[in-house]
Structure 1
Amino acid sequence: MNRIILQLCSLLGCFNLHAAILEKSIPYSHGDVKLEGYHAYDDALKGKRPAVLIIHQWTGLGDHEKRRAKMLAELGYNVFAADIYGAGIRPTAPAAGEEAGKYKSDRTLFRNRMLAGLEVLKQDSHTDPSKIAAVGYCFGGLGVIELARAGTDIAGVVSFHGSLASAPGMSAGKGKISAKILCLHGASDPHVQAAEVNAFQLEMSSAKADWQFVSFGGAVHAFTQESAGDDISKGVAYDKSADMRSWEDMQQFFAEIFDES
């Protein structure tokens, strides 16, 4: 009987039960700066749903973030990958370091630029504004921590191999952080060493934040990015195990903060 049903479904084309994930570029602005974000969602789902803001790595909004946006949309989330640098600004090293440095040295600008993207996500008709999280990679990993430090009213943030250090005078105050925090860290990351990790954990504990910190043994910086190669001696490399485990950790975290049990 099952075989007959499968054959019938094949003839009728009923295996296409879900519409394709819709992906599109979204122009928006922050002050006089023109920005171009990326939106992904499953249009087969009806009504509002939990939403995820993605903050990109130091080279700007690119293929990595777009692929993750699609993966999150396939899980049922409404996803917007924000543009921090500006439309068309997608630098490579060493220019990427200079561009990222502008925002690391001006955390107020960094926070406000992310909030511009968050507002786009909040205003989208598919978003449940009470269920929003932010996810960031490397430079963006620091970014989502900054959103939490600023007391942004979202459910949680997930930092993948992100920097952790606060700017002078901008550490989180006691009771300031409302978003839950999940940091996913390469234990052998030479760019985020033990002193920075310890200072961050002390800051979060002093702020009475709800935080988790997961270290993946042997993983270095950029462990979720396949384009980073596999030479860990460079301090930047893809780690399939850490990538898969961190993705699962993120999903469990979302299930908690969005009360999806």
Structure 2
Amino acid sequence: MTTMTTRTVEYPADGLTMVGHLAIPAGVGRRPAVLLGPEGPGLNDVQRRRADALAELGYVALAFDINGGRWFSDPEEMMAYIMPLLDDTERMRGIGYAALDVLRAEPRTDPDRIAAIGYGTGGAIALELGRDGVDLRAIGTINAVTTGRPGEAANIRCPVWAGVGSEDPIMPPAQREAFAAEMQAAGVDWRLVVYGGAEHAFHHPNVDHAVRPGVSHHPLHAERAWRDVVGLLAECLPVTE
């Protein structure tokens, strides 16, 4: 019995050499594919394992990089790097398009059946690809209910699912409401799930208040959010032989 395979992929984006993780499902034919974006500190084994899990489900999955292979362990250093990126729509889109090109170039990828899932900064990048009119089958974001430039959400051509913790100080109720208003005004098929009692980065293991106030792991909601992501893909991007 064949199993999924993985490989490291290097590619240029944002003036850096990005180091992504590509997971390929068993089999030979083309498969639907998923861009998987990491949170601000960077790409680590948590997201690599998520890409592997998606490949086990039959998807070609690229866990893409945003920091040129770096992992920021210091929160202040990470914020100093990430905030200018989040304020620069074109940089975010450039990082997303570079990853999309890598995913589309994989022979096992069905280029007409791609979804974008992102956590934190990676989720903001997924949304910006949608706002730029990329033909995606679904967009899913966790901890990223970011709004875009006026009117551009009307370019989103697929369902959008967003998950956020009720106690997330980085994505507070006002931000959630602004995101919902943007999606609704644009006529997007959107859903927002608020996970009660969860803080920022609730999906990520080994996160606690020693890192930053308002950031902590919530194991139960982490499992629920993953099931919600898989359900979104099953609905919008089913794996068929």
Report the TM-score, using the length of structure 1 for normalisation: 0.85
Deviation for aligned residue 1:206: 0.8
Q: Distance in 2 between matches of 1:31 and 1:136?
A: 18
Matched, 1:149 2:131: yes
Report the TM-score, using the length of structure 2 for normalisation: 0.91
Match of 1:6 in 2: none
In the alignment, is the contact (CA less than 8 A) between 1:29 and 1:116 conserved in 2? Answer: yes
In the alignment, is the contact (CA less than 8 A) between 1:156 and 1:181 conserved in 2? Answer: yes
> Is the alpha carbon distance of 1:31 and 1:228 closer, same or farther for their aligned partners in structure 2, counting shifts above 3 Å?
closer
State how 1:99-138 maps to structure 2 within 5 Å: 99-138=81-120
What one-letter code is carried by the residue in structure 2 that aligns with 1:159?
T
Deviation for aligned residue 1:31: 7.0
Identity value in percent: 31
Deviation for aligned residue 1:259: 4.3
Q: Distance in 2 between matches of 1:63 and 1:98?
A: 23
Deviation for aligned residue 1:91: 2.2
Q: Distance in 2 between matches of 1:184 and 1:25?
A: 29
Deviation for aligned residue 1:117: 0.4
In the alignment, is the contact (CA less than 8 A) between 2:8 and 2:20 conserved in 1? Answer: yes
Where does structure 1 lack aligned partners over 5 or more consecutive residues?
1-16
Q: Which has the higher contact order (CA 8 A, sep 6+)?
A: 2
In the alignment, is the contact (CA less than 8 A) between 2:31 and 2:239 conserved in 1? Answer: no
Match of 1:12 in 2: none
Where does structure 2 lack aligned partners over 5 or more consecutive residues?
none
Per the alignment, in what secondary structure is the counterpart of residue 125 of structure 1? coil
Deviation for aligned residue 1:18: 3.6
Match of 1:90 in 2: 71
Q: Distance in 2 between matches of 1:76 and 1:259?
A: 9
What one-letter code is carried by the residue in structure 2 that aligns with 1:188?
E
> Is the alpha carbon distance of 1:111 and 1:31 closer, same or farther for their aligned partners in structure 2, counting shifts above 3 Å?
closer
Q: Distance in 2 between matches of 1:155 and 1:115?
A: 16
In the alignment, is the contact (CA less than 8 A) between 2:145 and 2:171 conserved in 1? Answer: yes
In the alignment, is the contact (CA less than 8 A) between 1:172 and 1:204 conserved in 2? Answer: no
For residue 9 of structure 2, the aligned residue among 8, 15, 26 is: 26
> Is the alpha carbon distance of 1:172 and 1:54 closer, same or farther for their aligned partners in structure 2, counting shifts above 3 Å?
farther
Match of 2:197 in 1: 218
How many corresponding residue pairs?
Answer: 239
In the alignment, is the contact (CA less than 8 A) between 1:230 and 1:238 conserved in 2? Answer: no
Matched, 1:252 2:231: yes
Per the alignment, in what secondary structure is the counterpart of residue 227 of structure 1? coil
Match of 1:7 in 2: none
Match of 1:61 in 2: 43
Q: Distance in 2 between matches of 1:200 and 1:31?
A: 26
Match of 1:173 in 2: 152
Match of 1:39 in 2: 22
Per the alignment, in what secondary structure is the counterpart of residue 206 of structure 2? helix
Deviation for aligned residue 1:223: 1.1
What one-letter code is carried by the residue in structure 2 that aligns with 1:192?
M
